[in-house]
Structures are given as C-alpha cells and as structure tokens.
C-alpha cells in the first residue's frame, strides 16, 4: 500500500497558532526545542505569550502550572523523553495533583526518533503519564487527527498529555475528522479478530487487515488515540464480536496502550489478546524503518500475531 505521508508536528504548530488567534488566554512554553516541536510559529505570532525557558524542563512545567492558576490555557512542549522523564515529579505534584489546565504536547516519542538512539527514544512516556490521576493521555494517529486533538483539548479544562512522533506518518484522516476524548474510532469492521492500534501503527494495522483478508481472516481495525480515558465499550464490543484482540503500539509493552486494553478485557470480557510493541529494552541508533523491523513493529509482525491470537480462540 502507498500512503500519503504528512508529519504530525506541523499539525500541532498550525493548530496552536490558530488557537492563539482564537483565545487570548492561550500561552505556550518551550525548553529550547521550539523549532523541532513546531511551537515557533506561535512564538513568532504571539511573542508576548510565548516563553522559551531554555534547557530547563522542570522549571517549564512549574511556570506552566503557575500560569494556569491565573486562568491561562497553557501549552508546554519539548521532546517526550524530557517532558515525562526529566520533569515527572513536576508534572505529578504541580500540574496533575492540583488539576491545572496545562497541555503537555510532547514530540519525538518512540523508537522512530532514529539516529539519536536510546537517550532520546522514549518508550515509557505513556506508562508514566497514564498512572497519574487527573491526567488525560492521547496519541493521535496522523496529521489531521493531531490538529483536531489540539483544538479539542484547548477547549477542555484539566491536564493533558499528547504524544507525537518525529517522522512523517501515513495520512488516515482528512480535514473533517473530529477527535473525541474517550472515544475510539473503528476504521474497518471485521468478525474474526480486532487490531487496536495507536499512532503510526494505525496504518500498519490497516495494511495487516488486507493481508489477513487474503487468508480469509476478517479483521476489525480500531484507532485507540484516547489512551486515557480509554473507550471500554469499543474494546468489550470488539472482544464479544471478534473474540480475539491484538494491540499495536510504538511503546514499551509494559503499561502502555496494550496494557490498558488488557485491563479492560481482564475486568470485563476476557478473550485471547496479543501485544505488538517494543519489548522492555532500550533502543539504539538506526533508520526509523530499520528500527521498526528490528523491534517487531512491521506489518508482518502484526499479521503473525493476529493469526496466533485467532488460533487461541476456543
């Protein structure tokens, strides 16, 4: 399959700029990565409301929290590694516990950061953010969904974590797509197995469904961009309708989206589940596609896991 590729990050940059025009309360903070995170457009248009705090992520989260107490809608951006790793306690104590209106939009998440290697490849961010009370966690699937997510969260009070990647990502949606918090999107119906995917794994799930069809396996594909709150009804329905679940994420398999799905299944509707994701290891340097192959995130891996999961059905 050939996909139109479009980077998610400009979707963020453009939406943030639009929000700046629409709402005077929107402010933006960055820690010396305003170009890479695409916040620079906002900074150029609204210099008074843009604060580049330098390489000081902990301070950025704190200042964000302080601004939020004064009624601002605060966007804070840096790489996922430094946002959630370096400033974890600041997010927990100063943003989530007091339930302040800070939107942490982190870029360069996942193994596809590529050449920078393990120090910059963040596979644990969803785990870290998901376990914090009050935190809503979202991983958009493409450029258009990113835009919709950013507009939606600006209008929804409370702390948010949004995860974006570095690479160009296949386009799944168009301008009309409307993201809803806590609602999964069923992209393709099917009866034998369901692949629940997020981020750049969504296009791979759609491709895997085509391959599986050739082998007479009918596959449902769900985009689970709202990781928390998670759409329990869609998961339970998929379990009941198809009896087998495969999850696909560019994230550590521990406590990521696949685990969130497993929690729902365990509580409500246990069926065989397999997880496709990064094992609990550090990454390494390489080209994005090479790394996807090396760490088991390609279409073939999904197909194999789907067949295995179907075979486990009683």
Footprint of another protein (CB under 8 A): 27, 48-49, 51, 53-54, 56, 58-59, 61-72, 89-90, 92-94, 97-99
Phi, psi of 52 (to 5 degrees): -95, 105
Catalytic residue selected from 4, 57, 263, 284:
57
Closest approach of Cβ 240 to another protein, in Å?
39
Closest CA to 115 of 250, 290, 248, 277: 290
Closer to another protein by Cβ: residue 7 or 30: 30
Q: Are strands 5-7 and 168-170 parallel, antiparallel or unpaired?
A: antiparallel
Burial of residue 1 (CB within 10 Å: 0-12, 13-18, 19+) is exposed
Scanning the structure block, which residue is given the tokens 């379990």? 239
Instruction: Please count the other Cβ atoms lying within 10 Å of the Cβ belonging to residue 120.
Output: 17
- Give yes or no: 18 in active site: no
Residue whose CB is less far from another protein, 93 or 268: 93
Smallest separation (angstroms) from another protein to the CB of 183: 28
Please say which residue, 134 or 177, places its beta carbon nearer to another protein.
134
Q: How far is the CB of 54 from another protein (least distance, A)?
A: 8
Structure tokens at 275: 């997880």
CB-wise, 65 or 306, nearer to another protein?
65
C-alpha dihedral, 169 to 7 to 225 to 86, nearest 10°: 110
In angstroms, give the least distance from the CB of 284 to another protein: 29
Nearer to another protein, 159 or 170 (CB): 159
List C-alpha distances in Å: 95 to 27, 141, 159, 185, 242: 15, 26, 7, 29, 40
Between CA 67 and CA 60 the distance in angstroms is 11
Q: Are 46 and 25 in contact (CB under 8 A)?
A: no
User: Are the C-beta atoms of 205 and 248 separated by less than 8 Å?
Assistant: yes
Q: How far is the CB of 293 from another protein (least distance, A)?
A: 40
Report in angstroms how near the CB of residue 186 gets to another protein at its nearest: 37
With respect to another protein, which residue has the nearer C-beta, 51 or 75?
Answer: 51
139 and 126 in contact (C-beta within 8 Å)?
Answer: yes
CB 51 within 8 A of CB 77: no
Q: How far apart are CA 247 and CA 276, in angstroms?
A: 6
Please give the positions annotated as active site.
Answer: 57
């Amino acid at each position: 399959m050939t996909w139109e590729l479009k980077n998610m990050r400009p979707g963020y940059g453009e939406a943030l700029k639009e929000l700046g025009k629409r709402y005077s309360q929107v402010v933006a903070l960055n820690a010396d990565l305003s170009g890479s995170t695409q916040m620079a457009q906002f900074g150029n248009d609204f210099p008074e409301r843009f604060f580049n705090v330098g390489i000081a992520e902990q301070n950025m989260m704190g200042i964000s929290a302080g601004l939020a107490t004064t009624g601002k809608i605060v966007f804070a951006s840096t790489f996922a590694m430094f946002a959630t790793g370096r400033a974890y306690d600041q997010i927990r104590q100063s943003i989530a516990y007091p339930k302040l209106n800070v939107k942490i939009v982190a870029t360069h998440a996942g193994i596809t950061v590529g050449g920078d290697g393990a120090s910059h490849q963040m596979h644990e961010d969803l785990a870290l953010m998901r376990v914090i009370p009050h935190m809503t966690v979202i991983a958009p699937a493409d450029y258009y969904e990113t835009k919709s997510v950013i507009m939606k969260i600006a209008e929804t009070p409370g702390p948010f974590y949004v995860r974006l990647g570095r690479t160009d990502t296949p386009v799944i949606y168009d301008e009309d797509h409307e993201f809803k918090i806590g609602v999964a999107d069923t992209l393709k119906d099917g009866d034998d197995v369901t692949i629940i995917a997020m981020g750049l794994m969504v296009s791979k799930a759609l491709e895997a469904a085509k391959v599986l069809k050739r082998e007479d396996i009918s596959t449902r594909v769900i985009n689970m961009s709202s990781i928390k709150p998670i759409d329990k009804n869609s998961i339970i329905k998929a379990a009941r309708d198809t009896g087998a679940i495969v999850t696909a994420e560019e994230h550590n398999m521990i406590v990521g989206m696949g685990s969130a799905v497993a929690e729902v299944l365990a509580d409500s509707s246990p069926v065989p589940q397999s997880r496709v994701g990064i094992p609990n290891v550090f990454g390494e340097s390489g080209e994005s596609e090479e790394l996807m192959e090396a760490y088991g995130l390609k279409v073939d891996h999904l197909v194999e896991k789907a067949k295995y999961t179907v075979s486990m059905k009683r």
